Amino acid sequence: MAHVFLFIMDTKKKIDDFFIPDNEVKLTEELDYNRALEYISAAEAFSRSTYQSVYIIDYFRRNFLYVSPNPMFLCGLTPEQMMELGYRFYLEYVPKEEQPLLIELNRAGFEFQNTIPLVDRKDWYIQYDFHILNNGRPILINHKLTSIALTSDGRVWLALCVVSASNHTTPGHIEIHRVGSPDFFEYNLITHRWNKRRIPTLTEGEKLVIALSIQGFTMSEIGDKMCLSPETIKKYRKQIFEKLGVRNISEAIIAATNNKLL
């Protein structure tokens, strides 16, 4: 019995590590769970139109308010099982060596948010990559998180999370973006600092090559549609790969989609 109690206490402590005092939701009188139903309906509608997994975090209840049935993030679980697990999901389905990464970026992300004027906070989102274990097999995912409901003192009550395939090969790649801005901030896990960066821009020709690749056309077919030679299309692809830091057209499509470059 003592072992069970210690296990429960240890699990609670690990879950508490994901929640920092700077974002403790204190103005509980402002939490309208009837209004939260509208956010859930919107998330359900979004999940029906995308392959990506979608879920909503409730930072007051320290749990998930909604989990979509899209399979990418579920690791074989049902949405109901995910809801029941809540933050224990990260302890059970993320490799142990990557769990400190999630805790550090969570702390750093909220510290960054506190530097943003309250009226602008919904314009920003954080994204990063980590592995989840699906039947013991690690899958690298890209995870985006943005606040959808704040209390009047700027604490995040509800956040929308979107999970998609990562275009990288390693975890990390922690970035904070502001919608509509070409500038973003990248977190350095060695110096523990945010560094300003700029999103690469694609030419109209490069965008068209990616768009036609998404539609399944071969390089020869893309050349015909653009009235260009296959060699020129190869040069376009090489330029795309260098700009996005990827190795192939599949990764380029994911990177362009995740960074809203099309």
Q: pLDDT tens across 151-210, in order? A: 999 999 999 999 999 989 999 999 999 998 989 999 999 999 999 999 888 999 999 999
Question: Which residue(s) pair with 138 in the sheet?
Answer: 133
Whether 125 and 239 share a structural domain: no
Query: Final residue of a domain: which of 164, 180, 198?
Result: 198
CA–CA separation, 207 vs 55, rounded Å?
A: 30
Q: Please choose, from the candidates 242, 262, 23, the residue with its C-alpha nearest in 3D space to the C-alpha of residue 150.
A: 23
Given 178, 198, 218, the domain boundary residue is: 198
Residues 153, 217, single domain; the answer is: no
The confidence score (pLDDT) of residue 27 equals 95
15 plus 121 within the same structural domain: yes
Q: Residue 160: its pLDDT value, please?
A: 97
Same domain membership, residue 211 and residue 158: no
**Ranges in the chain, pLDDT < 50:** 2-9
| Residue 85 and residue 119 in one domain | yes
φ, ψ at 248 (rounded to 5°): -150, 175
Which CATH number belongs to the domain containing residue 74 in this structure?
Answer: 3.30.450.20
13: left (phi over 0), alpha (psi -120 to 50) or beta: alpha
Indicate if 236 and 250 belong to the same structural domain. Answer: yes
**Residues 175 and 61 reside in one and the same domain:** yes
Which are the contacts of 95, defined by CB distance < 8 A and separation ≥ 6?
131, 133, 138
Query: 215 and 175, same structural domain?
Result: no
* Domain end call among 156, 174, 198: 198
Q: Are both 116 and 133 inside the same structural domain? A: yes
- Residues 162 and 144: their CA atoms lie apart, in Å, by 5
Count of C-beta atoms within a 10 Å radius of residue 186: 14
The answer to whether residues 67 and 37 belong to one domain is: yes
The answer to whether residues 39 and 163 belong to one domain is: yes
pLDDT number for residue 20? 84
Parent domain of 146: 2-198
Give phi and psi for 205, each to the nearest 5: -65, -40
Residue with tokens 């999103």: 199
CA atoms within 13 A on the CB side of 168: 16
The single-letter code of the amino acid at 248 is: N
What is the CATH classification number for the domain harbouring 246?
A: 1.10.10.10
- Which two structure tokens, joined as six digits, stand for 114? 């506190």
Domain count, the chain: 2
